[in-house]
A and B are shown apart, each in its own frame.
Chain A
């Protein structure tokens, strides 16, 4: 026999679910979130859905304007570049390079940063203080400048760019994790589970992480929008992705010579970068807004 509910049980959703509940009700944030999911899908499935190869040239279709132009051709929806490569396919592949790589980079540095940050939050004394000062110095150097230094050491190329940007973002995550973990460790619920005999690691894993995950996510969206811009900027300066690769910044740099006669080769990759960064920022803004509302309620 099923036991009937005598008392009205109160259900407390986890902090993360509370946040999602508020996030879902903000229309602008949801639009950003849908665009974000769309970009991720595009980044994964670009090789399957793109109509042409991104690197193969087609000399009969050089500098074709987009389809809405009177001279356009509808089978090349966004036109072609100076080697007759389809812009749409190039932009689609570019999603997996610029956006997809920036996502992977951020996840990678997030994981490493969280591990080092939570370890350092548990240590005290000289080591901790040295780390703090060292991080301050690193954080005061802008991410792009640091990435340029690392690319200078490793040499140009997309692989080296990815490493450079991953290294650049680790200190940010260390800093925020360290700060958040330290703050949580001062709270009473941690003391309660410590009185239960829980080890530091157990407290960290079961009590602290669920409470700081959204702060880390908010930082991750900030990092990702910076990462997209950094990858694109390095590509544009010729320090990142090399010539045939359809990275958005590199496509833009490539279109520069024909800027005046074929402006779409410059407009479109720029718009793609703008779209990706705005989508990421909207998601981040939504998370921060939801965090603020949850704190107030």
Chain B
């Protein structure tokens, strides 16, 4: 386990270096002055500029510039947003939890729906139900997420009027900002309308989360189906059958456990995909998350915000990646010694 941890740590440091290097070089690639792109101070006077040049060591060689930039990042100084002139770190702290919340709920839905369906398909391999589930998976995988979001709004919000179509919670409720994750904040607050707020927040999250969850769910269907088919063909399942265990015992005690381990490995990779879908969905459902903020910054040409937002988002994706790797290694002793993976 120690070598595994060290190896992951090395990979983490390497990736962080590549990511910061990327965001550092973005300042040079974006139009405009590099130091202004770093700091986002578009209205800086000549004295301010001189100070900024000093702080980012712009007159030194490129390595010194990079280390100065890195120092700023480590101190939590991402510069100012060019559009609103407020510190970007504050905005990210406010917006990132909303995206995390939405993606986690979507991931949960995708796993709860996708994995059982995949198992059912695998158990009925090559039968009608298998084919039906596979065709559903194919269509779900092919639907453009923004179109699905619009159809869902048209049907459930406008047509049937069941669920709200935009925002995180109704404006009537006043929830203090503690962690940024709405559900935890609501439970922590001592408002008398706690449970109404909780219900309202859940009603707001259902529609966007389901829209995001569809495509990852279909991928979970395929993964779990493949894993289950593989497990059912192994000799220990045949041994269990020969021992006289009935079907349910085999599936629930032996097959599902071993198939699940295979799926957990892919959760990290799917999560990256899911966050991208969440970015697009946030635009449609006006969800106050980092995806919508990032896409708005692109159309406003707010380069500092783009740069830091990307860094924050990709760090988050990568941390989830590493975490799932650890969970997988903790659950599956076979994976710890292996050199491949990563």
* Interface, chain A (partner B; CB < 8 A): 133-134, 136-137, 140-142, 144-145, 148-149, 151-153, 156, 225, 229, 232-233, 236-239, 249, 252, 256, 259-260, 263, 266, 269-270, 273-274, 277-278, 281-282, 285
A-B contact pairs, 10 of them (CB 8 A): A141-B314, A142-B272, A145-B272, A145-B310, A233-B146, A237-B146, A270-B144, A270-B151, A274-B139, A277-B144
**Do A145 and B295 contact each other (CB < 8 Å), given the known contacts A136-B342, A236-B146?**
no
Secondary structure call for the B interface:
helix
**Do A237 and B295 contact each other (CB < 8 Å), given the known contacts A142-B273, A266-B150, A278-B139?**
yes
Residue of A nearest to B298 (CB): A152
Flag if B321 contacts A140 (CB, 8 Å).
yes
* Interface, chain B (partner A; CB < 8 A): 11, 14-15, 18-19, 26, 29-30, 138-139, 141-147, 150-151, 154, 158, 269, 272-273, 275-276, 279-280, 283, 294-295, 298-299, 303, 306, 310, 313-314, 317-318, 321, 342
* C-alpha gap A282/B134 in the complex (Å): 12
Flag if B298 contacts A148 (CB, 8 Å).
yes
* C-alpha gap A9/B321 in the complex (Å): 55
> Nearest Cβ in chain B — how far from A139, in angstroms?
9
> Nearest Cβ in chain A — how far from B270, in angstroms?
10
Among B29, B146, B303, B313, the residue within 8 A (CB) of A145 is B313
Residue of A nearest to B147 (CB): A270
**Do A263 and B154 contact each other (CB < 8 Å), given the known contacts A233-B145, A237-B280, A274-B143?**
yes
Secondary structure call for the A interface:
helix
Among B154, B298, B310, B321, the one with the most A-chain Cβ atoms within 10 Å of its Cβ is B298
> Nearest Cβ in chain B — how far from A286, in angstroms?
12
Residue of A nearest to B158 (CB): A260
Flag if A153 contacts B314 (CB, 8 Å).
no
> Nearest Cβ in chain A — how far from B286, in angstroms?
13
Flag if A142 contacts B144 (CB, 8 Å).
no
Contacts of A266 in B (CB 8 A): 147, 150
> Nearest Cβ in chain B — how far from A126, in angstroms?
14
Flag if A239 contacts B299 (CB, 8 Å).
yes
* C-alpha gap A213/B86 in the complex (Å): 53
> Nearest Cβ in chain A — how far from B200, in angstroms?
25
Flag if B142 contacts A141 (CB, 8 Å).
no
CB-CB nearest 9 A-B residue pairs: A270-B147, A277-B142, A142-B276, A144-B276, A278-B142, A153-B29, A142-B272, A236-B146, A152-B306
Flag if A151 contacts B298 (CB, 8 Å).
yes
> Nearest Cβ in chain B — how far from A154, in angstroms?
9
> Nearest Cβ in chain B — how far from A168, in angstroms?
12
> Nearest Cβ in chain B — how far from A254, in angstroms?
13
Residue of A nearest to B141 (CB): A281
A-B contact sample (19 more), CB < 8 A, given A153-B29, A237-B283, A269-B147: A134-B18, A137-B18, A141-B272, A142-B272, A145-B276, A145-B279, A152-B298, A153-B26, A153-B30, A233-B144, A233-B280, A236-B146, A237-B280, A252-B147, A252-B150, A256-B150, A266-B147, A273-B144, A285-B138
